[in-house]
Chain A
Amino acid sequence: MKTLFILVLIYISAGFTTAIEFKNEEKVVLLGNTFIERDVNFGHIETHLALALSDKRPTFRNLGWSGDTVYCHARSYFGPPQEGFDRLKKHIQFLKPTLVLMCYGAVSSFDGEPGLGSFLEGYKRLMAMIRSNSGARIVLVSPPPCETLGFPLPDMEPQNKKLALYSEAIKKLAAEEDCDFVNLFEALGAGKKRLIPPVTINGLHFSEQGYKKVAVALGDGLKVKAPNVDLPNKEKLRKIVMEKNKLFFNRWRPQNETYLHGFRKHEQGNNAKEIPQFDPLIANKDKNIQEIALSLSAK
C-alpha cells in the first residue's frame, strides 16, 4: 500500500515537470537565501533566463537574503522572524510577481531530520502567503549540493546527506502543492561526484563560474533554452542586469532602514521620499535588458 502511494507520488511529480507556460511580461521574483542573493553580483541566472524568455519580455527581481529561512529569520530587523515575514509580504504586494522561483532548505538542512517537519510547515505557510498576496505561480527549487574541497575546509558529505533528504521532501511538497519543481540538487551532481573545476569557493557558496552552471541547470529544469549568443554581447547584457540589481537593491533593501521606515523615522523619515525615486531608473534598465535580450535572440 505504502509502495503504491509512493509510486503515485512519483507519477504525479513527474507529471508536473513538463514545461511551464511562461506568460507575456512575466514578473519573476527569485526568493531564497545566500545562494539566491549572491547571484545579484553576477546576474547569470537572470541573464540566462532573460535570453531564454526574451519574447515574453520578462522582468526579474532578486529577493534573496543571506541566512534566510522559510520563516524569514534573516528578514526581520528588531523584531521576531514574523517581522521579516511581514516585510516579505509587503515586498510581494509591492512587486506583484506572476512567477516566484523559491529556493529554501540550505539553511534549515543544517538541523537535519529533526528540523524537517518545521521546515515543510513553514514552507507551506510561506507559499500560501505569496499566493494570496500576488496570485503568482510558484516553482520550488531544491538547494544545490555542497562540495568537499579538502582540508582545512570541512567535509560536506554529512551536509549533502541532509540536503538530499530536504530536496526529496521539497520535491514531494511541490507535488502536494501542485507546483513545478526544479531539482537543482540532482542537476548539480547531488554531491556524489566532484566537479572539476569546483563550482563553490568554500564548499557552500558558488563562484561566478558556478553560477553559470546554476543558470543553465535552472533553465533546463524550467525547460527553457537560451539562444547561443557571443560572449561580448552576453557580457554587455549581464553588465546591465548587474546595474539593475544594484539599483533594485537600494530600492527594496535600502541602508539606514532604522531611520527611513523603522523606529527612528520621526527623525530622518523625510529622507524616505528619495527611495521610490529609484523606480524609474530600474524600469529603464528593465526595458534596456528586454530590448537587448530580444535583439540578441533574434540574431
Chain B
Amino acid sequence: MMFCFRVIAVGFVVLSGNAFAQRNLPLDAIPKPDPSEQIKTFVLDEGLEINLFASDPMIAKPIGMNWDEKGRLWVVSSRLYPHIKPGQRSDDKVVVLEDLNGDGVADKSTDFAKDLLIPTGIMPGDGGVYVANSTEILFLRDLDGDLKEDQRRVVLSGFGTEDTHHIIHAFRGGPEGMMYFNQSIYIHSHIETPHGVRRLMAGGIWHYRPETGELEVFSRGFVNSWGHIFDRYGQSFATDGAYGEGINYVFPGSVFVTAYNAKRIMRGLNPGQPKHCGLEIVNSSHFPDEWQGNLITNDFRGHRVNRFVMSESGSGYVSRQAPDLIRTTHKSFRPIDVKVGPDGALYIADWYNPIIQHGEVDFRDPRRDQVHGRIWRITYKGRKLSQKPKFEDQGIRAVVNQLKSPDSYTRHFAKRNLRLRKKSEVIRELKFLEGSEGITEEDRLEILWANQAVNELDESLLKKLLVSKDHRIRAAAVRVLYHWSDRLEDHMDFLGQAVIDDHPRVRLEAVSALRQVGTVQSFKAILKAFTKDIDANIDFALWLSAREMESIWLPALENGAISFGGNTSALEFILKAAEKPSALKLLGPSLTSLDISSAGFRELASLFADIGKTEDLDLLHSSAFYKERNKEDRDFVFKELIRANQQRQVRPSEMRIADLLKLLVSGNSGVAELCGSWKVFEARKEIIEWLKNDERVEVAASSLAIMADNESKQALLELAEDESRGILQRSAAVGALTRLDPVKTSELAAQVLVKAKTTQSAELIFEAYLTKEKSSEHLAAALSGKKMNAEVAAAGVRKSLSSGGDTSQLVEALSKSGSLQPIVNGLSDEEMKLLMSEVQSKGDAVRGENIYRKNQLLCQACHAIGGGGGLIGPDLVSIGSSAPVDYIIDSLLEPAKKIKEGYHTTVITTKGGDLIAGGLIREGDREIILRMADGSERKIAKVAIEKKEISPISLMPPGLTASLRKDEFIDLIRFLSSLGKEGKFKVPSGRYVKRWRVLPTNGKAGNLIRTKGIQYAMNGKNDLPWKAAYSKVNAELPIEEVGINNGFNNKLSAAKFEISVSVSGEIGLRIDDTKGLQIIVSGKMIEATKESIFNLEKGIHNIIFITDRAVRESNLKVQLFDVGGSPGRASLIGGP
C-alpha cells in the first residue's frame, strides 16, 4: 500500500484550514464506572491496603484537595472543565468530606460553595478557606457553622487563565505559616499588593503571607507543576505534570525548564520519568520507618502511584524510585493529588477520566467524563493508625505541645491553629516549650517556624539554630533570614559565617539569603563562597546573584569598593555571568590563557561574540591564532566571529588577512566562510577554485554567496549552469544564488530541480528557498508546468510542511510537478474506525517496537522513551496511556494537528530576512536558543531578530511513515499505544542505561583492536566511529545492534555509556547477565560481576562494555545503583 501520497494529501488538509474537524468516534472501551470493579484492578505494593474513602455522587471530578485542622477533607471539583459553555451556569464546587466515625470512609459530603468557575486550588485555614477561582484567589468563610459559604473576599486577583489546566493550583501551607501556590507555562499574572505590583510570566511558585499582603515569586519555570512539598527541614520539592524529570529540588530563586526569559535552568532529579501530578511526603507514624521521608506522586497517564526515596547529595538530593504503591490497567484511574490524612493514611484523589488534556483532545470530546470522581485511602497492613490530633477547645499549651508530634500532619495543623490564637500567649507558650526537657533540634525548628507562623521572629532561638550541629537545621535557620534578614540586626555576621559553612546546603541557603539582602557588603560575603566547593546548585545560586546584583557590584568593582585580589576564577565567574560588555576587557587574560579548558574557552569565546565590541573581537580573533590552540577550538572562534558579524555587524578592526589566507590554502573551510562574511576579496580566487572540488563545493558556494560581489556571483552562476557538473554541485550553487536573489534564481532552480533524481541532490535548493522569507512562492511559480521526479517532489513537500513559513504555494506546485495525487480528505471517520480496530485486532507491539527502532524512520533521533533518545520531540514514555489511539494515528500522519505544550515550533525572521524554525530551548534577555530539526542548538542574538512567532507547524515532517506497509504502520501504532500501560511496554523503574554509543563493524577499529589490543583502542584518544543506540523499552540493548570487530583471536563488541558522578565514591552497576562481559572504566578493564563496583571521582565517566561474541549473544541490561555505606552518587546521562 502506498501510504506516501496519501500522507502528502493529508498535508493539504492542514493547510486548507480543516484541521479542526472533530472526529466522531466510538466511545471505545471505556470501563464501567463502578468503584468496586475499579478497585479489583489495582495492584498494590506489598504491605499496602486500599479502600474507597469517597466516590460519586459525594464527589465528582476532584482537581485538588487539602485537609483542615478538624480532619475534614476539602476538595475543589469541576464539571465545567475544560471550558464553560455559553448558557451553562458556573456552578463548580468546594466540597467538604467528613469521616464522622473514623472508619476510613467518608460519611458526609457538604457543598461549601457552588458557584465557582473551574476552581483549581484549595487550602483551608485562617478561619476560612482559600480557593483558586479563575483569575482570583478567594477567601470564603462560614460564619454560622453550617459548613456553607457566608462571606466572600477576593484575596488576590490578576492570575492568568490562558489555559484552564495551568491556572494557579497546588496550594500548600509552608512550614513557616505562609501559603505557596503554583502557576504554569501559559499563565501570565499581574497582581497588585500593598507592597507594589508583582508579575510572573509563565510557570513558577509564589509565596504569600495573607496578614501582611506580601506576595513574592519563590521559583520560576516548569511546564505544568502540580506538586510541591516541604520536607521535615523546610526544603522544597516539586513535580511537573508535563515534563518528565521526576522529583525536582527547588531552592529560593531556582529556575526550571520553560521559565520566562531564563538563560539558565536547573534539572530534575529523575530525568526520563513519566510526568507527575501532586506530591506528598510521608512523615506519618502509621507507615514503617523505611517509608519516612519518601515522596509519593502520581503518574496519572500511566495509572500509577509512584514512590521515590530521597537521599542527600552535596547541597541537593538524589531521588531513587521505589516500587509503585498502585498500578492498574484501568483507563479512567487518574490519580492527581495525594495527601497524608489525619489518621496517617495516604489519600489519593482520582480525577477519574478516560480523557486527559484539552490542548490535544477536543474541549467537547464526548468521551470526557464529567460526573465521576474518587478519593482512595491507602493504609499499611498491621500498623496502627496515627493519632488524630485535636486542636479545637484545647488550650494554647496543648496545641503548642503537638509541635513535637512525629506526624507532619499534626505539626502542620498545630501551627495553622496557632495563627488563630492570641499572639502574645502563643509566643509565651512557645518559649515555655523550648525551655522544657527533652526538646530536640527538630522541635526547636518547629518552634522557630511556629513563631514565624504568627509573624514573629524569635531572635535568640534563631541564633541558636544558625549554629546548630545539624546542617539541615542550620540551612533551615538561614532560610528564615532569606525572608526576614531585616528583622535581625546582626544578620550579616551570621550570613558571613553561613556562606563558608562546612555543609554545601547551608552555603547554598546563605548565597540566596545574601542575594536578598542586596548590598555591596552582602555581595562581598557571597564572594566568600568561591573559597569552598561549588556544586551545581550553588553554582546556579552564585550565577543568579551575579546577574541580579549587577547594579550593586559593578559600580563597586569600578570604584574599587570590591576587589578580587588573587581570586581570578571568582572574578571570571561573576563577569561571565553578568554578560556586561564593559567587563570583557577584564576577561581578556582568561581568553588568551592556555590553562583554560576547551569548554571554558568556547564559553568565553561565545560571550565575546555575543556582546563584544570591535576591540574585544580583536582579542577573540587573535586568540584563534595561538600556536597551542587546537583546530576545533580555532574553527569555533571563526564560527563565532561569523555570528557576531552576521547578527550584530561587529568585527575586529584587524582581520589578519595573511594568517587567514595561509589557513585557507591549507583547506580550512571555517576560514572560507569567515572570509566570505568579512568580504576578504583576497581570498576569492582560492574559494572560486574550491567550486571545482566536489567535497568543498558547498562551503565554497555559501562563502561566495556571502561575499556577494559580481565576480563571486558570476562564478556561482557558471557552476549552476554547467551541465557537465553533477546536480548536487549545481544545487549548491543555485542554493547560494537563491540567498542573494530568490526571484532571479527561481528559473535556474526549477531547471536544476527537474533534473534531480535523488532527494539529497535537491536538498540545498529547497533549504535555500525555505529559509528565506517570502521566497518559496517564486520557486513555486518557476515550477509551474514542469515535471519533476515524484520522490524529489515529495521530499520537497515534506520539508516545506515542517519549515515554519507559509509554503502553501510551493507545496501545491511540487505536488503538481511531481504528479502527487492529493486526496482531499485525510482519514475519514470510517477509515479511522477501521484502522483503530485493526490496530486492536492485528497490531503487534513487539514487531512495532522493531519498526520504531528502524533508522530510516528517525523516531529515535527526535524522541526518547524514558530518557534515551532525541530531545526534539516529547518523550513518548507514557504516550499510550495518555493519548487515545486516534490521536496517535493523527499525530503520525499530520504532526501539526496536535502539538504537545512546550514543543511548538518557534519561527524567527531575522532582520536579514532569514527564516529560522526550531524548538525553543531558552530565551534570555540577549538571545534565543533554538533546537533545530537536526538536534543541534542554534543561538540567535535578539538584536538580529525582526519577528518571533510561535508557529502552528510541527518540527516533525509529515510522511515519515510513508515508507511503511500498512501492516507495519499498524504494528507501530500498536507499539506506541502500549507505551506506559501496564505490561511489557511500561518503562521499568530503576536507573537502567538507555543511552548507548556502540561501535559498528569497522575496518579501522578492527585493525586497531587486533594490533594494539582492546584496552588501547578504547583509551578515548582514538577517533572511532561510535554511533548512537538506545535500549529497548524493557531496558535491553539488542546485542545484534552492536557491531563485531575481530580482535587478535576473538570477536568483540564494544558499547559504552556515560554517567555523571556528583559525589565521589563507590558507584555500582547491576548487570543482568555477565557472561562474556568485561568492563573498562578509567582505562582499567575488569571482569563483569552481577554487582560491579567502581570507585569514581566527581565528574563525567565513560563506562565501556566489551562483549566476547563467541560466548555471548544475549542483550545488555545494566542498572546503576547506590552502594550501601558509600557516599558515592551518580546519575546516567540521557538524551540523544
Q: Show the binding face of A for B, using Cβ within 8 Å.
A: 33-34, 37-38, 41, 65-68, 73-74, 76-78, 106-107, 110, 146, 152-154, 156, 159, 201-205, 207, 246, 250, 253-259, 262-271, 274-275, 277-278, 281
Using known A-B contacts A66-B192, A78-B188, A107-B197, determine if residue A270 contacts B22 with beta carbons closer than 8 Å: yes
A152 interface neighbour in B157, B212, B358, B360, Cβ under 8 Å: B212
Interface centre among B188, B197, B904, B949 (most CB of A within 10 A): B197
Q: What is the minimal beta-carbon distance from A115 to any residue of chain B, in angstroms?
A: 12
> For window 205-264 of chain B, which residues contact chain A by CB distance below 8 Å?
211-213
Question: B364 contacts which of A34, A154, A271 (Cβ < 8 Å)?
Answer: A271
**A37-B197 contact, Cβ under 8 Å, with A154-B213, A264-B904, A268-B359:** no
Give the distance in Å from the alpha carbon of A66 to the alpha carbon of B160 in the complex. Answer: 10
Looking at A38, A74, A146, A203, which has the most chain B CB atoms within 10 Å of its CB?
A: A74
* CB neighbours of B896 from chain A (8 A): 266
Does B362 sit within 8 A of A, measured CB to CB? yes
CB distance from B147 to the nearest CB of A (A): 23
Question: Is B57 part of the contact surface with A, judged by Cβ < 8 Å?
Answer: no
- Contact A153 B212, beta carbon cutoff 8 Å: yes
Give the segment of B82-90, B371-379, B661-669, B784-792 that binds chain A.
Answer: B82-90
The answer for the CA separation of A202 and B196 in the assembled complex, in Å, is 12
A110 and B154 in contact, given A203-B213, A258-B186 (Cβ under 8 angstroms): no
Lowest 6 CB-CB distances: which A-B pairs, in order?
A67-B190, A66-B158, A270-B20, A74-B190, A277-B86, A263-B950
**In the complex, which of the residues A77, A203, A250, A267 contacts B162, with contact meaning CB atoms closer than 8 Å?**
A77
Residues of B close to A205: CB separation below 8 A = 154, 192
**B161 located at the interface, meaning its Cβ lies under 8 Å from any Cβ of chain A in the complex:** yes
Task: For the complex formed, measure the closest distance between the CB of B735 and the CB atoms of chain A, giving whole angstroms.
Answer: 30
Give B156-171 as 1s and 0s: 1 = Cβ < 8 Å from A's Cβ atoms: 0110111110010000
**Complex Cα spacing A278 to B362, Å:** 20
Contact B162–A66 (Cβ < 8 Å): no
A274 to B950, CA, bound (A): 24
Residues of A within 8 A of B163 (CB): 255-256, 258-259
Closest to B151 in A: A208
Question: A255 to B191, Cβ gap below 8 A?
Answer: no
Given A41-B154, A250-B84, A262-B162, the answer on whether A268 and B362 have CB atoms closer than 8 Å is yes
CB distance from A214 to the nearest CB of B (A): 15
Whether B431 is near chain A, meaning CB under 8 Å from some CB there, is no
Jot down 22 A-B pairs with beta carbons below 8 A, ordered by A. Answer: A33-B192, A34-B158, A66-B135, A66-B158, A73-B199, A74-B190, A107-B197, A152-B212, A153-B194, A153-B211, A202-B213, A203-B194, A257-B161, A258-B162, A259-B163, A262-B162, A267-B898, A267-B899, A268-B358, A270-B22, A271-B362, A274-B83
User: Chain A: which residue is nearest B896 at the CB level?
Assistant: A266
Q: Which of B22, B162, B199, B360 has the most CB of A within 10 A?
A: B162
Known: A204-B194, A253-B135. 12 other contacts (CB 8 A): A41-B154, A65-B158, A67-B189, A67-B192, A68-B190, A107-B197, A153-B212, A202-B193, A257-B162, A259-B363, A266-B952, A270-B362
B residues within 8 A CB of A77?
A: 160, 162, 186, 188
A276 to B, closest residue via Cβ: B86
List residues of B (67-115) whose CB comes within 8 Å of A's CBs.
82-87, 90
With A and B bound together, what is the CA distance between A264 and B135 in angstroms? Answer: 21
Contact with A along B6-42 (1 / 0, CB 8 A): 0000000000000110100000000000000000000
Contacts known (A154-B213, A204-B193, A271-B364); A38 close to B86, Cβ less than 8 A: no
Roughly how many angstroms separate A34 CA and B191 CA in the complex, as a whole number? 8
Contact at A66–B190, with CB atoms within 8 Å? yes
Which residues on B sit within 8 Å (CB–CB) of A73? 190, 199
A136 to B499, CA, bound (A): 60
Nearest to B211 among chain A residues (CB) is A152
Query: Could you tell me which B residues sit within 8 Å of A by CB distance?
Result: 19-20, 22, 82-87, 90, 117-118, 134-135, 153-154, 157-158, 160-164, 167, 186, 188-197, 199, 211-213, 358-360, 362-364, 455, 896-899, 904, 949-952
Task: Say what secondary structure dominates the interface of chain B.
Answer: loop
Question: Chain A residues near B134 (CB, 8 Å)?
Answer: 255
Chain B residues lying within 8 Å of A37, measured Cβ to Cβ, are: 157-158
Residues of chain A within 8 A (CB-CB) of B86 are: 250, 274-275, 277-278, 281
In the complex, the chain A residue whose C-beta lies closest to that of B260 is A78
Which of chain B's residues have a CB closer than 8 A to the CB of A106? Answer: 192
Assess A264 versus B199: contact at CB under 8 Å? Given A258-B163, A271-B364: no
B359 contacts A259, C-beta separation under 8 Å: yes
- Closest Cβ–Cβ distance, residue B896 to chain A (whole Å): 7
Contact of B358 among A204, A259, A266, A278 (CB under 8 A): A259
| Chain A residues within 8 Å of B188, by CB | 76-78
| Residues in B neighbouring A154, C-beta threshold 8 A | 194-195, 212-213
CA gap between A267 and B210 in the complex, in Å: 39
* Chain A contacts for B950, CB-based, 8 A: 78, 263
Cross-chain contact A67 with B199 (CB below 8 angstroms): yes
**Given A264-B899, A271-B364, does the pair A110, B196 have CB atoms closer than 8 Å?**
yes
In the complex, how many angstroms separate the beta carbon of A200 from the nearest chain B beta carbon?
9
On chain B, the residues within 8 Å of A257 by CB distance are: 161-162
Rounded to whole angstroms, the CA-CA distance of A203 and B192 in the bound complex is: 11
Name the CB-closest residue of A to B80.
Answer: A255
> B455 — which chain A residues lie within 8 A by C-beta?
152
Query: Closest approach, in angstroms, between the C-beta of A269 and any C-beta of chain B?
Result: 6
Q: Which residue of A lies closest to B160 (CB)?
A: A77
In the complex, what residues of B have CB within 8 A of residue A275's CB? 86
Note all chain A residues with C-beta closer than 8 A to B83: 254-256, 271, 274
Chain B residues whose CB sits within 8 angstroms of the CB of A110 once the complex forms = 196-197
Q: How far is the CA of A250 from the CA of B135 in the complex (A)?
A: 12
Q: Are B19 and A66 in contact (CB under 8 A)?
A: no
Closest CB-CB distance, B806 to chain A, in whole Å?
A: 13
A255 in complex: contacting residue of B85, B158, B161, B949, CB < 8 Å: B161
B118 near A255 with CB under 8 A, answer yes
CB distance from B313 to the nearest CB of A (A): 37
How far apart sit A263 and B897, CA to CA, in the bound complex (Å)? Answer: 13
Which residues from B are CB-within-8-Å of A74? 158, 190, 199
Question: Contacting A66 at CB < 8 Å: which of B20, B118, B191, B899?
Answer: B191
Which B residue sits closest to A207, measured CB to CB? B153
With a CB–CB cut-off of 8 A, which chain B residues contact A68? 190
CA separation between A68 and B134, bound complex, in Å? 17
B158 to chain A, nearest CB (A): 3
Contacts of B117 in A (CB 8 A): 255
Question: Distance in Å from the Cβ of B890 to the closest Cβ of chain A?
Answer: 11
Write out the residue numbers on chain B whose beta carbons fall within 8 Å of the beta carbon of A203: 194, 213
User: Which listed residue (B20, B85, B197, B364) contacts A67, Cβ 8 A?
Assistant: B197
Q: How far is the CA of A110 from the CA of B194 in the complex (A)?
A: 10
